[in-house]
Amino acid sequence: MGYLDKIFGKKEEQIQTYEDFWNWFQANEMTFYKSVRKGDNIEKKFFNKLSPKLGELKEGFFYLTGMYDDNVAELIFTADGVLKNIVFVEELVSMAPMIPNWKFTALKPATSMESNSIKMEDFTFSTENLSFYSIEYKNYPDEIDIVIVYNDYKGKHISTITSGVYIFLDNYLGELNAVTTIDNLTIISKAQAEKELIPIAKLKDYLIWREKEFIEKYNGVRYNTENDNYSGFEAILDNGLPLLAIINTTLLDWDSKASHPWILSVTVQFDGNNKGMPDDSTHELLDRFEDEILSELKDFEGYLNIGRQTADSKRIIYFACKDFRKPSKVLHELEKNYSGILNLTHDIYKDKYWQSFERFRSN
């Protein structure tokens, strides 16, 4: 067998754990380092090897590299703005070994943009042509709704401009803050502005102030759903199929929703009957799966089961969460455990006042 390995090459074992990845990286780091330091065909010698190994570990890892200083190469791992992947990027870097001449960073860090700019196609994004203002809502006092004003706004190039603004914010605020501190973001031209403009260089301080105020207000808030009331809802979809929902209506009237601003949405596709509903065995499997989520995400720990809806061969389960990291890990494991049994996907998004559930509230 050893002779055949020499002829055909020994197949590398698949990366399954963070330790596997870092063992592989250490075995190849000298080649990678030389490529980064010399700027020598980095795509072929480094990225084309790194990318598939990260993919074996988990989808959703992205990266940037360059020289941190004259002797140290930096490898930045990023979730590319996808909230549910942030915890895995953080965990990967937390497990990194100490390797001479290497610096590993979780998520794009904040950088000074006063003397830097972002260029995309024919557009430049800098402190010179970006400003902002905030929109306040009486009924949603803790909502952070930011309007970014771009002086060189051109409607037909909105896709490029949007990408440029988001990349600027990633660099200016840092990836984690850019994703987590702003609830809503709108990009407009200077002519569309309805309030006095504030220099973009002041946005970071503004967000720090708002976030501090918010954390102090809701620190320590907990909720127990044991005695809550649940209501059933029925509706008809546009395609004529029924929608059935069971929702914790007591929870929807809670006055501290903003303390649990992260919404976990778990979608299960199944083979439904002619009304898009599960048969008995599928219904039992779906309930068992939901019970597993509930056993991991407990209300008194900050994970509130809002309810579920079933329609058109699809069940969606909703949780309001105090943080987004644990739900990301729990659902990743469940998706692996139920692979081939249930067709699962999940998403986590910020909805500080649970406005996406207004349809279930009585008028």
Supply the pTM of this predicted model: 0.91
Q: Name 166's Cβ contacts closer than 8 Å, sequence gap at least 6.
A: 81, 178
Q: Name 163's Cβ contacts closer than 8 Å, sequence gap at least 6.
A: 120
The residue assigned the tokens 């080649």 is: 31
Distance, in Å, from the CA atom of 292 to the CA atom of 283, rounded to the nearest integer, reads 14
| pLDDT confidence tier of residue 8, bands split at 50, 70 and 90 | very low
Distance, in Å, from the CA atom of 146 to the CA atom of 148, rounded to the nearest integer, reads 6
Q: What is the pLDDT of residues 86-131, one digit of tens each?
A: 999 999 999 999 999 999 999 999 998 887 899 999 999 999 999 9
Q: What is the pLDDT of residues 125-181, one digit of tens each?
A: 999 999 999 999 999 999 999 999 999 999 899 999 999 999 999 999 999 999 999
Rounded to 5 degrees, φ, ψ at 63 are -160, 160
Return the structure tokens found at 350.
Answer: 């910020």
What is the CB-side half-sphere exposure of residue 276 using CA atoms within 13 A?
A: 17
Helix segments in the chain, DSSP class H: 2-8, 18-38, 42, 48-57, 86-94, 158-173, 175-180, 203-218, 249-252, 280-296, 325-337
Distance, in Å, from the CA atom of 291 to the CA atom of 268, rounded to the nearest integer, reads 14
